[in-house]
Structure 1
Amino acid sequence: MSSSPLTRRGSKALVGAAAAAGFALLLSGCGVANSGGSTGGAAGDTLRIVLPQEPPTLEPCEGSLTATGIVTRSNITEPLVERNPTSGELEALLATEWEATGENQWTFTLRDDVTFSDGTPFTAASAAFSIDRAVNSDLGCNVEGYVFGDDDLVATAVDDTTLTVETVRPDPILPLRLSFVEIVPESTSVTEKVREPIGTGPYSVASWETGTKLTLDRNDDYWGDAPAYASAEYQWRTEGTVRAAMLTSNEVDVAVGLGPDDGAGELGVDYANNETVALRFSGDIAPLDDIRVRQAINYAIDRDGILGSLYSDGTNVAAQLIPTGVVGFNDSLEPWEFDLDAAKALVDEARADGVPVDTEITLVARNSLFPKVTEVSQVLQEQLSQAGLTVKLSMVDTSQSLQYQLRPFVLDEGPIALLVQHGNQAGDAQFTVDQYMTTDGAQSTFGTPEFDTMLADAGLKSGDERAAAYEEIFAYQNEEIVQFATIAHMVGQIGLATTVDYTPDAATGDEIRLADFVPAG
């Protein structure tokens, strides 16, 4: 099957590519009323945005990291195709059509009217270069581990507008995977990551004052519809209350990552995002290498109490690492019940068998990971301690957290319970399990040969068989592996000035497309 040609996303038309057939999501965004409440307004043609943290880099192959992708994806750089976060379908972008042309091959037809912001023409050679750089190089790109794993791709420019991509094995969702590869010109370094990329997007980097602000200017040669705002200015503040205050005092037009009590008032807009909060345990260091201790932690967490006291309606207790709407979600799984007696009994049983349950466990959490992360972390520390475990809390910044989150992991600090917030941006369970559950997954500390086989087999299936296979995997994880203590499926909040119209969706927490913002009225 092949897709039909499609114009830029401004048309809002959808394309049913073979890769997305059977994988459409039913995620729904929330409409923005933006009526009444406090005042606010854009400073001329500049859209002013405050983020929870400064981007660590704008490197395109790190776009699957929220702190980077929220600025870069579909703003500075663009992929060949992109997934509509509401429908789950794939939309044409730099590619207009795609089809499976062999058991292990896909062919893409590319646009012929695109240039990079430096004036370099976009061609199939650019696309092949970008895929090779992100997936096959030694750069250690996050997108490689998150989306592609160890398998290399062979990307070939047949001519200027025809690209073939060959995989090691059949891959029914390759176009979906490629939606995470941001396209860059062939002049981009292949020996080191870049801080300020060149892309084909509607904006380009104008200036970056480290520690202060980042400014993007509209790309006047952009191939698609011109965005409404001539520039975007990003600032960052760690505290949600500070971000909300900047919004209500008309210092910014958009405040990202707000919590229900941060003070945005009627300017705060809730939306269903795709984030799941969980503890991830190190699997090879005592006492967390004993499944009874991991089960005890799950029993010790009062999930309903945490959500009821800290979060608004809409945040749900989680039984698995993906939310409803993602292919593979198992709606028969029940969250762990809060049973402190059961938790203590399991810890005592492990202690009786010689497991060093008194060894200090470090609970690591990243500052500004999500609203009220410090409060949640403190509650978790207390609840795990009540189960008879010794727990130290360590709040770290973004660069430090990556040492715990991604391979190679920190190995000299004892057992780690890492608080993670996982967003499945792609809408398919494979993007979760490949990084978090395989033996060599980029964010996995567990794994068995048997489980690896289950995961590999599921990735080759399609349609209902694919969904059923991943449902079984999440059930198996909860029973036999227990690498996680899943806590909550989150609800996001973004703050919007009354002079700005924008409709958040399930992807808003990971990428904010500037072209989707327009002045109100």
Structure 2
Amino acid sequence: MTIGETMPSSAPPRPRGGPSRTFAVVTALAALAAFPGCTVANSDAAGSTGTAGDTLRVVLAQEPPTLEPCEASLTSTGVVVRSNITEPLIERDPESGELEPLLATAWERTGPSTWSLDLRSGVTFHDGQEFTAEDAAFSIDRAVNSGLACNVDGYVFDGRDLEVEVTGDLSLSVTTEVPDPILPLRLSFIEVVPRTTSTEHKVREPVGTGPYVLDGWETGVSISLRRNDAYWGEPPAYPEARYVWRSEPSVRAAMITRGEADLATALNPEDATEDNSVAYPNNETVALRLDGREPPLDDIRVRRAIDMAVERDAIASTLLAGLAEPAAQLVPEGVVGHDPELRGTPTDPEAARELVAEAAADGAPIDRRITLVARNGMFPRVAETAEALQYQMAQLGLNVRIEMLDTAAHLQYQLRPLPENVGPVALLIMHGNQTGDAAFTASQYLLSEGAQSTFGTEELDAEIAAAGELSGADRQEALAGVLAHQNADVVQYAHVAHMRGLMGISPAVHYRPNSASGDELRLAEVRPAGREGS
């Protein structure tokens, strides 16, 4: 089924569950490109034995900033909340890309701008309330039409309001401002909450319909879940789950090795072995976002020069130990709009220096300090990657200083309203398009007023808008054109690498990570080793 098609009501639900230092770093890590920890382990758990303990133990890289369901499109929140505590109406299979029924059993386009949905019966919230169309409509209104400033509103719906009408106890219709062929895909990002949920404030303790209930959140220590015994779908194997967080990847890996954790996110290659980890495509793309509002980055020659200076092959193969491949666009293979023929800018420091010199001759203040902002823990060896980029930019005659920030501070640079009076910024980002459609990337990262864009052009804005109205092969071609246009005529982004992740997995459990696992770790899909088919 392609995005935008009618979903038949007979379809069954899927079973649920300092620059100079850089050279020393690169040299020391060169041998890691073939590190055995990059191979897949624990994918079958063949011959393993064991029974489910009471608690599934998960160690994260950081504590979630919030458990508010309308913020579940944020990675650090979604990895706990999404599909565990709360659920959407529709979900996208991360491997096939197909949309599948969840709390909605069928959907159909009944007009140019209107979709009708049928909902699942016999579903209750954790507090005992029965799930109805009133709750579904409320959840859409709360996430998209309210003043809560939910991340999903800007990221998925571009800030556009929806008209929602309850047409029966278990049916509703949704009307968009303009025709939207991928509305069902957008709805898959709204987590359903009961209509008694606050619309004045974001919640700390979410109530949902998911397979787990929030049992407690001890700030700075842990988050505990317990199995929802009234769950409408297949019950999860583990009665309880507990999240803790450790910022050091080596500590997370050691917890797997010592049997103190069952799953661990974002391991470093040097800490991974065939016995404690699995490599998987995590759908993330690393890039430098160049603030084109500020000199000297407002000069496209300087931005082009930076793009030409990035040594993608060396960063991907050496610093990232082979767990990445050079990137030429903001979305990886498998996302609608990805163009496999698009090639990354060839590294050419000499030509790049000529461009900078030309810009300087025309008055560009190339000695003005550029701040290269990166986030601690964004990916393994993020600090070394920032140092490599700093060195490569400095070789052009640019004045670059690194600033490593925590998640909250980094978000202030990443999202509008952007900080003022901070000078030119080259922001190291890692973008994961879990929607499977590049329109979401374009609306956030490429539009002139996009929530995560610093600038754009009228021509590119018009191209993005036109692509959003298309479907099928026409949509693919148009979105690929948008990404190529950014590279040729805008150059807000210097692409670095498409990433792969390393997830720590204990031999005691079976879990097969996929491209969504870094954002949506579905605990109901985890089984004790030896019980993979249960």
TM-score in same-fold range (> 0.5): yes
Aligned-partner residue type, residue 221 of structure 2: T
The aligned counterpart of 1:96 is: 105
| SS state at 2:100 partner | strand
Instruction: Using the TM superposition, name which of 87-96 and 435-444 deviates more.
Output: 435-444
**Structure 1 stretches of at least 4 aligned residues deviating more than 6 Å after TM superposition:** 39-43
In structure 2, do the counterparts of structure 1 residues 509 and 467 end up closer, same or farther at CA, with 3 Å as the change threshold? same
Question: Structure 1 residues 43, 517: closer, same or farther in 2, change over 3 A?
Answer: closer
Q: What is the one-letter code of the residue matched to 1:184?
A: V
Aligned to 1:340: 349
Q: 1:298 aligns with which of 292, 304, 307?
A: 307
Two-structure CA RMSD over aligned residues (Å)? 1.9
Look up the SS of the partner of 1:363 in the other structure. Answer: strand
Which residue of structure 2 lines up, in the alignment, with residue 5 of structure 1? 10
Matches of 1:308 and 1:457, distance apart in 2: 37
Alignment map for 1:18-37 (pairs within 5 Å): 32-33=42-43, 35=45
Query: Is residue 184 of structure 2 the alignment partner of residue 184 of structure 1?
Result: no
Deviations 1:331-359 (A, max 9, x none): 22111111111121111111111011111
Partner of 1:286: 295
- 1:388 and 1:162 map into 2 onto residues whose CA distance is 62
Cα-to-partner distance string for 1:410-454 (whole Å, 9 max, x where unaligned): 112111111111111010111110111111111011112221111
Q: CA deviation at 1:40?
A: 11
Q: Is the 8 A contact 1:81 1:95 kept in 2?
A: yes
Counterpart of 1:394 (choices 396, 399, 403) is: 403
1:372 is the counterpart of 2:377: no
Amino acid at match of 1:49: V
Secondary structure of the residue aligned to 2:467 is helix
Cα distance in 2 for residues equivalent to 1:457 and 1:4:
31
For 1:504, the aligned partner's letter is P
Q: 2:336 aligns with which of 306, 327, 330?
A: 327
User: Shift of residue 3 of structure 1?
Assistant: 2.1
Alignment counterpart, residue 492 of structure 1, candidates 501, 507, 525: 501
State whether residues 42 and 48 of structure 1, in contact with CA within 8 Å, keep that contact through their aligned partners in structure 2: no
Q: Distance in 2 between matches of 1:438 and 1:40?
A: 52
**Match for 2:146 among 123, 137, 147?**
137
- Counterparts in 2 of 1:214-233, with a 5 A limit? 214-233=223-242
What residue identity is the alignment partner of 2:43? A
The amino acid across from 1:218 in the alignment is R
Structure 2 CA distance, aligned partners of 1:107 and 1:473?
A: 31
Tell me which of 88, 100, 115 is aligned to 1:79: 88
**Alignment partner of 1:309 is 2:309:** no
Report SS of the residue matched to 1:10. coil
Contact preservation (8 Å) 1:244, 1:264: no
Q: Is contact 1:477-1:483 (8 Å) kept?
A: yes
Deviation at 1:36, TM superposition (A): 8.9
Paired letter, 1:188: T
Which residue matches 2:3?
none
State how 1:370-449 maps to structure 2 within 5 Å: 370-449=379-458
Q: TM-score, normalised by structure 2?
A: 0.91
Contact 1:41 1:498 in 2 (8 A): no
* Partner residue in 2 for 1:362: 371
* Letter of the 2:14 counterpart: R
Alpha-carbon deviation of 1:113? 0.7
Match 2:218 to one of 209, 221, 224: 209
Distance 1:469 1:69, change over 3 A: same
Q: CA contact under 8 A between 2:317 and 2:324: conserved in structure 1?
A: no
- Name which of 277, 286, 291 aligns with 2:286: 277
The question of 1:152 aligning with 2:157 is answered no
Question: Once the two structures are superposed, what CA deviation does each residue of 1:117-175 show, in whole Å capped at 9, x if it has no partner?
Answer: 01111111111111111111111111111110121101111111001000011111000
Which runs of no fewer than 5 residues in structure 2 stay unpaired? 1-5, 18-39
Shift of 1:66: 0.4
Equivalent position amino acid for 1:206 in 2:
D
| Structure 1 unaligned regions, length at least 5 | 13-29
CA distance in 1 between partners of 2:272 and 2:429 (Å): 25
For 1:348 and 1:103, the matched residues in 2 are separated by 53
Aligned to 1:22: none
Q: Secondary structure at the match of 1:206?
A: strand
Q: Tell me if structure 2 keeps the 8 A contact 1:41–1:253.
A: no
Kindly provide the CA deviation profile for residues 234-267 of structure 1, in whole angstroms up to 9, marking residues without a partner as x: 0111111111011101111111111211244422
Other structure's SS at 2:413 match = helix
3-state SS in 2 of match to 1:418: strand
* Residues 231-250 of structure 1: pairs in structure 2 closer than 5 A: 231-250=240-259
Distance 2:145 2:272 in 1: 46
The whole-number CA distance in structure 2 between the counterparts of 1:35 and 1:175 is 36
How many percent identity over aligned positions? 55
Contact 1:34/1:498 (8 A) holds in 2: no
Choose which of 249, 265, 277 in structure 2 pairs with 1:256: 265
Evaluate the alpha carbon distance shift between residue 269 and residue 457 of structure 1 in structure 2; reply closer, same or farther with a 3 A threshold: same
Q: 432-441 or 303-312, which moves further after superposition?
A: 303-312
**Corresponding position of 1:513:** 522
1:15 aligned residue: none
**Superposed displacement of residue 33, structure 1:** 2.8
Please give the secondary structure, in 2, of the residue aligned with 1:221.
coil
Task: Tell me how many residue pairs correspond in the alignment.
Answer: 504
In the alignment, the residues of structure 1 paired with residue 417 and residue 262 of structure 2 have an alpha-carbon distance, to the nearest angstrom, of 39
Give the CA deviation at 1:51: 0.5
What is the distance in 1 between the residues matched to 2:220 and 2:301? 45
